[in-house]
Amino acid sequence: MSTLKLNKSPAAADQKRQKPVRPLSPELRDRSKAPVIKAQQSREAPAKESRRQDAGARKEPRAGGRQDEGTQPRAPRQEKSFKDKNTRQSAGKPAYGGDRAFAARSTRNERPRDQDRPFAAKATTRSASRPAQLAADSDLQPRLSKVMADRGLCSRREADDWIVNGWVKVNGDIVETLGTRINPDADIVISTYAKEYQAENVTILLHKPIGYVSGQAEDGYEPAVVLIKPENQWTEDPTQKTFHRGFLHGLAPAGRLDIDSTGLLVLTQDGRIARHLIGEDSSTEKEYLVRVEGELSANGLAKLNHGLSLDGVQLKPAKVSWQNEDQLRFVLREGRKRQIRRMCELVGLKVVGLKRIRIGQIALGKLPPGQWRYLAAHERF
């Protein structure tokens, strides 16, 4: 037989889904105050968990889980140290999160640096080989500062300053160590900073009068540098450069004139000029007009030109001639102490006046005694 299913109307279905609403009993209405009552009771009575611990209640361990030995109470929990954590991981437990990330970082840190930075090995090799290149046969090679001075780049003192400042390259490598020895034919490049610093140095030409010493004060006489002040600057100075007190710093005479001599005296801050004028290998000419008295010995003029010795050392050839009947003209390429006066004494003459009128290509000209001017940028000794 077939079973007939009767379709219920929507109204009947809605009536079935709706349950009758019964009014709350007084007991149920009082339950709305239960949380307040329970909170008050919890403050008055000990916690349920505390009662269980006092009674020694224990849950039964799950199957396969860790069991306590006997019925002894559980020991207080201790904080796990980092060492314990690593021990658990090494025992087979996987590392999660931060542990795995730390392990990866530790592995990277243990690798050699050359693997992380492929250029580190190359840079280290280059820096290690640099001293070997510069200092090979160090006992036979000259110092860098001496080579720079010999080439006329600067003075030895300036070279040391430039090296310390990192302004010098040798064969493409910056050298910052004083005393470094190099091949005499090495390629030397100077930084523009050094050239700008050198360009700020000044050179002063002074017409030194009698009564001033060239260098340090001695025997109550003042040094010639005290004349370098604004009121003594030559009004016809072609440079038209103003005077600054900073120009006096490091200003030193490049050559000497006796206290009883007058004429051109060079004071400079530029080590190249000082070396060019008074260096051991200097060949710069210096011209003097010398007023003399006495009777010139036979062949005396020839001896003044070449053939005299001072302190057991033969003098370099000179150019000596009569300027007029009582004045000689000397051109020397060396400058020993009181050289001209001692030379004249050897041939029977006495010097009563000495004036230096030229150094190299720079002439004293019209510069008045006691006044000074700057060396112009285009002027060369």
Do 339 and 290 belong together in one domain? Answer: yes
Do 279 and 368 belong together in one domain? Answer: yes
Do 248 and 314 belong together in one domain? Answer: no
By residue range, what is the domain housing residue 156? 141-165+187-200
Q: In this structure, is residue 262 part of a structural domain? A: yes
Do 266 and 207 belong together in one domain? Answer: yes
Q: In this structure, is residue 260 part of a structural domain? A: yes
Do 279 and 365 belong together in one domain? Answer: yes
Q: In this structure, is residue 290 part of a structural domain? A: yes
Over residues 299-350, the pLDDT tens digits come to 999 999 998 999 999 999 999 999 999 999 999 998 888 999 999 999 999 9
Do 315 and 222 belong together in one domain? Answer: no
Q: In this structure, is residue 116 part of a structural domain? A: no
Do 252 and 355 belong together in one domain? Answer: no
Do 269 and 223 belong together in one domain? Answer: yes
Q: In this structure, is residue 313 part of a structural domain? A: yes
Known catalytic residues are 258
Which domain CATH number covers 299?
A: 3.30.70.1560
Over residues 51-64, the pLDDT tens digits come to 555 555 455 555 55
Over residues 214-240, the pLDDT tens digits come to 988 777 889 999 999 999 999 999 988
Q: In this structure, is residue 252 part of a structural domain? A: yes
Percentage of the chain lying above the pLDDT 90 cut: 38
Q: DSSP labels for 22-85?
A: PPPPHHHHHGGGHHHHHHHHHHHSPPHHHHHHHHT--PPPPTTS---STTPPPPPP-PPPHHHH
List the end-to-end C-alpha distance of the chain, in Å, as a whole number. 140
Q: pTM value?
A: 0.54
Do 276 and 365 belong together in one domain? Answer: yes
Do 255 and 346 belong together in one domain? Answer: no
Number of structural domains found in the chain:
3
Percent helix, strand, coil in the chain (nearest 5)? 35, 20, 45
Collect the ranges in the chain with pLDDT lower than 50: 1-4, 6, 37, 39, 57, 68-70, 80-129, 132, 135
Q: In this structure, is residue 154 part of a structural domain? A: yes
